[in-house]
Amino acid sequence: MAARRRLLLLLVLLLCRLAAVLPTSEVEALQGFMAGFAGGNAAFQSWDASAPNPCTWFHVTCGPGNQVIRLDLGNQSLSGELKPDIWQLQALQSLELYGNSISGKIPSELGRLASLQTLDLYLNNFTGEIPNELGNLSKLSNLRLNNNSLSGAIPMSLTTIQNLEVLDLSHNNLSGIIPTNGSFSHFTPISFSNNPRTFANSSDSPSNNSGAAVPSGRSSASSIGTIAGGAAAGAAMLFAAPIVLFAWWWRRKPHDQFFDLLEEETPEVHLGQLRRFTLRELQVATDNFSQTNLLGRGGFGKVYKGRLLDGSLIAIKRLNEDRIGTGERQFLMEVEIISMAVHQNLLRLQGYCMTPTERLLVYPYMENKSLETRLRECSDSQQPLDWPTRRKIALGSARGISYLHEGCDPKIIHRDVKAANILLDEKLEAVVGDFGLARIMDYKVSHVVTGVMGTLGHIPMEYLTAGRTSDKTDVFGYGIMLFELISGKRGFDLVGLANEENARVHDWVKKLLEEDRLEVLIDPNLLEIYNGGEQGVREEMRLLVQIALLCTQESAPSRPRMSTVVTMLEDGIAEHWDAWQRKTIVQASLQGGQGVSEARNDSVANLPPDTLSGPR
């Protein structure tokens, strides 16, 4: 008995030791990873080497057993090299280092990350060849290495990754044949564009474009005979072709009936990783687009719930007839650009359908519908959203919008950020939907548009008055969405409450904050924990209100970028808030006593409804 007790005690000590060693090894791996970059970067300010595990560090997400499953360091101004120490994070599923200035080679050790699903290294300065070892990543679904200076051939090993759904190797210096077998068979030229030294097949190779040696003797005579025979056969076909075509046309004439030839003959056409559905499939899935399957409607069209033959649920956006005028090529280009925007907080485009009379987009069905539905149309069987869930939704939606602005090429401006377009998955994680439909724009410059698209209460003045939109248009909409999240009210209703006090929403909420009267704004379902003084909740709610105020400033240049909003939600707001307070004091002293009445003139309440119609 004593021996068994000693053995059990030894086993317990061994397990405790193992549990202590695993996180420490991950801390050491991350410290080695960090050592490759220039010091002093704020992204690493919380990376404390003495911590028992890295799960409390910024930009690090842990899963079961406190193992790191995600590193999110996109657009963090990192410079230096990617160290191979990262391979020790064996539970890592997502490595996101896009939009930095990382140089050097991509470590071949990345091929040892057996759990990796997303590898985003685009918009950096990587050089050298793509490691052949990346083909060992059997679980990889998203691989984006575009906009670097990578050279050499595209490794054939990548074609063996069966789960690969998103691939972008464009804008590099790659060379050689572009593979078309295996998983690469689903990808279109856009995934490999702007690599001047690549070619689609061996016949396009420069080595095959040089002149052939001139044959002599019998071989020359044979060649001449072959050419003559070919010419004769060609002439015969030339004369016969019109007769054959006429006979074919005459035979079909009595049965002249229009149908989409491409759709009927190729029901499984793929655009990149997208599936092309037939119209018949979607009609069957929605019971011929019956009203019972109608989920909603907006400026772009109606949305239907559907069920495919395999039992999976989908949401189908049937675009309005005025969108059908878009040419097929333009529509497909827009669809492909939207499909390349893949992020855990963005609604994934699953497929499309295109006929001469229809344009439809297919998405996964979201069982929990939208944030608007959960805030204001909650069923008796559903609990109101608690505060931790709302805080999680605020951060997730900010990450999604930030990715649209800074992670996509070309950049995508949403133009209608609101609670109705923040969808909720089965875990109530935020998923931003309806992006890319208004127009694909390059975020590097502002853009003048001919028609205002958006929703009352969510549109900034520079967009309403001048039609000028930029990424700051979305920042404003996000700020109003935060007010919706905190209050449970629609943006339109908030405008009405603010107008009762002759002010804009921004000024009204700012006054409530200064007078410590936020309970007027806060959702009644949250008042108990707000007034009850639950630890940290009151401060967190005030933090979200402050961020919303920064986002809804009248001056577009003064609003923060969405990546800055993400940082404020993760790290705190003190520095940004203090700077804005100082600026506000200076402006007030310069303006004197102007303007509560002027502020009312900035309100959108007096504009006609048709000016504000737009997508949902």
Strand 68-72 versus strand 60-62 pairing type: antiparallel
Tokens encoding 271: 């655009």
Backbone angles phi, psi at 313, to 5 degrees: -90, 140
Q: Is 256 exposed, middle or buried (0-12, 13-18, 19+ CB in 10 A)?
A: exposed
CA–CA distance, 63 with 505 (Å, rounded to integer) = 40
Is 416 known to be catalytic?
Answer: yes
Q: Which amino acid is at 436?
A: G
**Residue 299 among known ligand-binding residues:** yes
Question: Token digits for 388?
Answer: 């931790």
- Alpha-helix runs per DSSP H in 74-182: none
Query: Is 302 annotated as contributing to ligand binding?
Result: yes
Residue linked to tokens 């209050």: 487
User: In Å, how far from its chain's centre is CA 147?
Assistant: 17
Three-point CA angle 64, 78, 23, nearest 5° = 25
Tokens of 90: 């064996």
Among 408, 570, 433, 429, residue whose Cα is nearest residue 60: 570
* Catalytic, out of 416, 434, 471, 507: 416
Q: Which residue type is seen at 457?
A: G
DSSP string, 307-345: E-TTS-EEEEEEE-GGGTTS-HHHHHHHHHHHHT---TT
- Which residues on neighbouring strands pair with residue 319, listed in sequence order? 301
Residue 489 marked as a ligand binder: no
454 marked as binding residue:
no
User: Is residue 214 part of an annotated ligand binding site?
Assistant: no
CA-based R_g, the chain, Å: 29
Is 572 annotated as contributing to ligand binding? no
How far apart are the C-alpha atoms of 194 and 147, rounded to whole Å? 9
Instruction: Please name the amino acid found at residue 555.
Output: S
311 annotated to a ligand binding site? no
Is 303 marked within a binding site? Answer: yes
DSSP state of 224: H
Binding residues: 295-303, 317
Binding residues for ATP: 295-303, 317
Residues catalogued as catalytic: 416
